[in-house]
Structures are given as structure tokens and as C-alpha cells.
């Protein structure tokens, strides 16, 4: 199976103000897929649709080779899930919580669970309602990993955690992925964290997937260009123009997607001068994608 998650043409309306529209996304098997987007963009709603928690209005979802919702129960047996809002029974101890969750998974690994509990410095006798936010986050990650899932779906798993706890949680995640070849779909607003751990990325805004590509293409294909004597006509651009504005005098600053070095020839043909090509980090690229989706580029009076 080459793709762990396949979504095609999914729509879902949540009241009058928000909808997921014509969503198509693919998460390759064995990848760590970073799901980026501002708050309210639809990331959590999308994850709930994938896991069968919400019914789609239209379109198809395939999860680990099983259609959703018909076969979602088979897929869920192989999925570790950490929700945005942690769901733990406060009256139970850590040990009781692990026994409770173990009852639902035939592949639960007691040895792995105990190893993670010790590695995360969680006391077996401590009650859940006395855990700190960081300890609760560790416990949820432990539960997600202890039944040896093929797919991990993580919704803001390190949100609000201090740097030391984030490091511990991510180290455990990456160790598991490395040893098992598991797939990870991780939603987070911590852009630099995603840049370090993900090899694929999807960007969502206002219920739409704006871009989906390998991390290397995302990081290397979006550039800021400084252009002198910029052409008034867009012509047949060899790249996608995300934004265009005056930076100094008659020099313009363009942000483009899909850049390749050979595209410099376009400016020679257009009798313009490409003065500089500037790399953007993941956060800058993310912001430029959002900005271009919200504010159309206008060239010579024409919206593109």
C-alpha cells in the first residue's frame, strides 16, 4: 500500500459560517506529514472526518486501505490518535488508565507501555487529575504508541508543552517511526517544529488545501525574487506568482512558487533583470501561501 490516507473531493459543511470544500489530500505510507494551517482553518475538522467522527457530505476517504465510514473500525485498530483536547478519566491512576486502554487493543504492548512510562517519568500510582499539562500530553502519546499502530494521527500534540517536554514527546515519536516505519499525520501551528520532523507538508486555510508536496519541494520551491524593469504583462509565467509589489524605486519584489534555476531565462526573454533570488524558511513560505490565497495578485489591472 503506497498511501496510508487518500482523500478525494470531500465536502463537509459545519453550520453557516464554515465548510470543508472539495478536499483532496494524500499521505504516503511511511511519511511524516505536517498539516499546517491557522486556527479555524479546518485542520481538526479534517482529522475528525478522516477518523469517521464526522460524516462527509460528499467525496471519499480511504484509511489504511479501508473506506470510511464502512471500514473505519478496521482502520482504527491500527491507528494511534492524540486529540487536540486530551480525553482522560481524571479519577484513574496512570496505571489504571493504561490497563483501561489496553483492553481495547489486541496488539497492546505492555513492555513498550512500561518503557515509555518510565522514559516519560510518569508515576504509575499518580491520579490523572493531578498530572500537569505536560504529563498529560506524555500519557496521551504513550497510549497512542503502546498498541504498535501503523498510523499516528496527532492533533497539536505538543501545544502548550514546555521545550523539554516537547523534546521528549517528539523523540519518542521519531524513535517509533524509525523502528516501525509508521506513518504520521501531525497537525501543528509550531511551524519550525514541523520543518525539523516532517518530510511532507499540506497547508490548509478556510476549509481548502492550498498546497501539498514533499517538504524539500516546499522549502526549496518558494522564493522571493528582486526584479528590475519588471514586465507589465504576466505572459506565460513558468512559475506560480504568489505576490508582487514594489520594494525600492522601480525594483519589484516577487514571491513565486515552483521555482527552478532555469527559470531565470524568463526574465531575459522579458527584457527584465533578475537581481536576486532569496530563499524562504518554512514559516515565511507558509505565510506567503496564506497571503496569496486571501489577496489575489494583480498584474496590469488583471487579477491572477
Average pLDDT of the chain is 90
In tens, the pLDDT along 188-206 reads 877 888 888 999 999 999 9
Q: Are 64 and 1 in contact (CB under 8 A)?
A: yes
Q: Are 128 and 94 in contact (CB under 8 A)?
A: yes
Q: Would you say residue 208 has pLDDT above 90?
A: yes
Q: Are 223 and 281 in contact (CB under 8 A)?
A: no
Residues pairing with 209 in the sheet: 204
**Could you tell me the pLDDT band of residue 235, with boundaries at 50, 70 and 90?**
low
Q: Would you say residue 304 has pLDDT above 60?
A: no
Distance from C-alpha of 237 to C-alpha of 216, rounded to nearest angstrom:
22
pLDDT at 15: 82
- Domain limits, the chain: 3-206, 217-303
Domain range 217-303, its CATH number among 1.10.20, 3.30.70, 2.60.40, 1.20.140: 3.30.70
Instruction: Residues 3-206: name the CATH superfamily.
Output: P-loop containing nucleotide triphosphate hydrolases (3.40.50.300)
Distance from C-alpha of 255 to C-alpha of 224, rounded to nearest angstrom:
4
Distance from C-alpha of 256 to C-alpha of 239, rounded to nearest angstrom:
6
CA 67 centroid distance within chain: 22
**Could you tell me the pLDDT band of residue 233, with boundaries at 50, 70 and 90?**
low
For 172, the grid coordinates are 519518542
Q: Are 128 and 90 in contact (CB under 8 A)?
A: yes
Least confident of 94-108, 258-272, 282-296: 282-296
pLDDT at 300: 45
In tens, the pLDDT along 17-45 reads 899 999 999 999 999 999 999 888 999 99
DSSP state, 236?
S
Residue listed under C-alpha cell 478496521: 74
The model's pTM is: 0.87
In tens, the pLDDT along 245-277 reads 877 667 899 999 889 999 999 999 888 999 999
Examine residue 130 and say whether the peptide bond preceding it is cis (omega within 30 degrees of 0).
no
Q: Would you say residue 121 has pLDDT above 90?
A: yes
Domains 3-206 and 217-303 fall in the same CATH topology: no
pLDDT at 301: 46
Amino acid at each position: 500500500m503506497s498511501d496510508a490516507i487518500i482523500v478525494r473531493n470531500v465536502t463537509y459543511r459545519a453550520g453557516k459560517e464554515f465548510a470543508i470544500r472539495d478536499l483532496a489530500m494524500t499521505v504516503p505510507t511511511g511519511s511524516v506529514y505536517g498539516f499546517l494551517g491557522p486556527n479555524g482553518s479546518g485542520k481538526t475538522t479534517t482529522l475528525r472526518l478522516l477518523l469517521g467522527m464526522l460524516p462527509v457530505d460528499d467525496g471519499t476517504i480511504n484509511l489504511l486501505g479501508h473506506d470510511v465510514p464502512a471500514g473505519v473500525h478496521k482502520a482504527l485498530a491500527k491507528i494511534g490518535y492524540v486529540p487536540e483536547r486530551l480525553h482522560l478519566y481524571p479519577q484513574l491512576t496512570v496505571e489504571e488508565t493504561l490497563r483501561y486502554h489496553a483492553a481495547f487493543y489486541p496488539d497492546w504492548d505492555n513492555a513498550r507501555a512500561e518503557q515509555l512510562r518510565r522514559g516519560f517519568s510518569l508515576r504509575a500510582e499518580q491520579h490523572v487529575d493531578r498530572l500537569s499539562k505536560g504529563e498529560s500530553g506524555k500519557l496521551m502519546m504513550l497510549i497512542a504508541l503502546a498498541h504498535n499502530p501503523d498510523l499516528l494521527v496527532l492533533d497539536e500534540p505538543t501545544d502548550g508543552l514546555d521545550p523539554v517536554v516537547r523534546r521528549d514527546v517528539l523523540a519518542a515519536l521519531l524513535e517509533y517511526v524509525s523502528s516501525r516505519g509508521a506513518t504520521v499525520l501531525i497537525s501543528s501551528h509550531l511551524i519550525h517544529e514541523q520543518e525539523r520532523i516532517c518530510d511532507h507538508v499540506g497547508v490548509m486555510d478556510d476549509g481548502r488545501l492550498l498546497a501539498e508536496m514533499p517538504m524539500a519541494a516546499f522549502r526549496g520551491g518558494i522564493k522571493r525574487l528582486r526584479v528590475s524593469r519588471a514586465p507589465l504583462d504576466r505572459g506565460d509565467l513558468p512559475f506560480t506568482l504568489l505576490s508582487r509589489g514594489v520594494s525600492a524605486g522601480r525594483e519589484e519584489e516577487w514571491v513565486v512558487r515552483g521555482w527552478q534555476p532555469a527559470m531565470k531565462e524568463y526574465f531575459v526573454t522579458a527584457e527584465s533583470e533578475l537581481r536576486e533570488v532569496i530563499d524562504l524558511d518554512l514559516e515565511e513560505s507558509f505565510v506567503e501561501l496564506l497571503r496569496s490565497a486571501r489577496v489575489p495578485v494583480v498584474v496590469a489591472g488583471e487579477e491572477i
